[in-house]
């Protein structure tokens, strides 16, 4: 379909609460997901949320095979997740570096729940119900934050842990975003 412009931090759409999807398996929903896929692939993202391309609906996609943005990351299955509900398991949190297509060329350390139960639907209305941990759990929390108007810099505990990717990691060939 199309590679869309990714909204960047400062755009008020990124701060909105996204609305739930009410109809599944529609041409409009499939077209939205195709645009999100095309845009994520073009930007080498690990995930993208619909509000990032200007559509304030509760739709995220994510997946990590071998990704130049996350060379050491665990793989995450490609997933379309709609109307997600997240339930952390226990209080355990862990810190990890994150980036975001809406905050280009920067990275920050963000605490996330280590283990997570999440539910939702795919684009056909089939239920999704998973228990995940580690990087998969981190990606889901990051993407679903976008549906609540939260960008990862808002979760950084110490702004000393926030900076430009090429300055933080000068010897690594991490792709610009
Ligand atoms: Ni993001």
pLDDT of 30-44, one tens digit each? 999 999 999 999 999
Q: Residue 18 maps to which CATH number?
A: 3.90.45.10
pTM: 0.93
pLDDT, tens digit, for every residue of 88-99? 998 999 999 999
Q: Ligand 1 centre and the CA of 165: distance in Å?
A: 15
- Ion ligand 1 neighbours (CB, 5 A) are 100
Indicate whether 92 belongs to any domain: yes
Indicate whether 4 belongs to any domain: no
Give the number of other CB atoms < 10 A from CB of residue 171.
Answer: 4
- When divided into structural domains, the chain yields a total of 1
Q: Hey, which residues are catalytic here?
A: 143
The whole domain housing 101 covers 12-168
Indicate whether 52 belongs to any domain: yes
Indicate whether 2 belongs to any domain: no
Alpha carbon separation from 1 to 6, 36, 150 (Å, rounded): 15, 9, 28
Indicate whether 174 belongs to any domain: no
């Amino acid at each position: 379909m199309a590679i869309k412009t990714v909204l960047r931090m400062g755009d008020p759409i990124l701060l909105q609460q996204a609305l739930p999807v009410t109809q599944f398996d529609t041409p409009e929903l499939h077209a939205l997901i195709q645009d999100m896929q095309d845009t994520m692939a073009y930007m080498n993202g690990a995930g993208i949320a619909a509000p990032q391309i200007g559509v304030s609906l509760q739709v995220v996609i994510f997946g990590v095979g071998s990704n130049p943005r996350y060379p050491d990351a665990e793989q995450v299955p490609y997933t379309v997740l709609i109307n997600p509900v997240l339930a952390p398991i226990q209080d355990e949190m862990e810190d990890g570096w994150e980036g975001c297509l809406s905050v280009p060329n920067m990275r920050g350390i963000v605490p996330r729940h280590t283990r997570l139960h999440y539910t939702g639907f795919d684009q056909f209305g089939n239920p999704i119900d998973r228990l995940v941990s580690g990087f998969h759990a981190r990606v889901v929390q990051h993407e679903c934050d976008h549906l609540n108007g939260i960008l990862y810099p808002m979760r950084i505990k110490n702004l000393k842990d926030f900076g430009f990717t090429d300055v933080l990691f000068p010897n690594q060939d991490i792709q610009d975003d």
